[in-house]
Amino acid sequence: MGGRYASWPKWLVGEHHISVHPLGGCPMDADPAKGVVDPTGQVHHYRRLYVADASIMPRAIGVNPSLTIAATAELISTNIVAALTR
């Protein structure tokens, strides 16, 4: 496929390693015209279909967003349990 090996760019970040968190692609918004999922993580117009990962963040949310992503996923899981026990 044309790929080639590239060594870690130490000139760019020194000895520190970085990771990229892909965000977006399935944004959260109360308005179905602006987002794929509502604030509870449920996909608009699809009952009991939820998304609870970084793809629902509408844009970059800062350096190392892993805790925000984890907290959002935990909140969504709570919403799922509450919806299933009603």
- Both tokens assigned to 30: 């109360």
- 48-66 as b/e: b if 16+ CB within 10 A: eebbbebbbbeeeeeeebe
Active site residue 17: no
- Burial class of residue 37, CB neighbours in 10 A (0-12, 13-18, 19+): buried
Among candidate residues 16, 17, 21, 45, the one labeled active-site is: 21
Residues designated catalytic:
21
